[in-house]
Structure 1
Amino acid sequence: MSIPKENELHYYSGKLDVLNVRTDHNSKSTEQYLAFYDKKTKTILEFSCAYSQAFFGTSDRSCGSSNDFEPYVGKMATIGWYRQYGILGYTNNRLQMVTLKSGDKVIHSYEDTMMEVKRHKTTLKYSIFFTALLSMLTYWMLGKLNQ
Structure 2
Amino acid sequence: MTQEILDQRAAVVIEANKYLTLGTVDADGLPWVTPVYFTPDGHKAFYWASSPDAVHSRNLTDRPAVSIAIFDSSVRIGGASAVYFRAHAELVPDDELEQSATLFASRYPELRSYTADELRTDLRLYRARPTAHWLLVRGSDPDYGTGLDSRRPVWI
What TM-score does the superposition give when structure 1 sets the normalisation length? Answer: 0.29
Determine which structure has the larger strand proportion and give its number: 2
- Of the two, which has the highest radius of gyration? 1
Determine which structure has the larger helix proportion and give its number: 1
Greater RCO structure (CA 8 Å; 6+ sep): 2
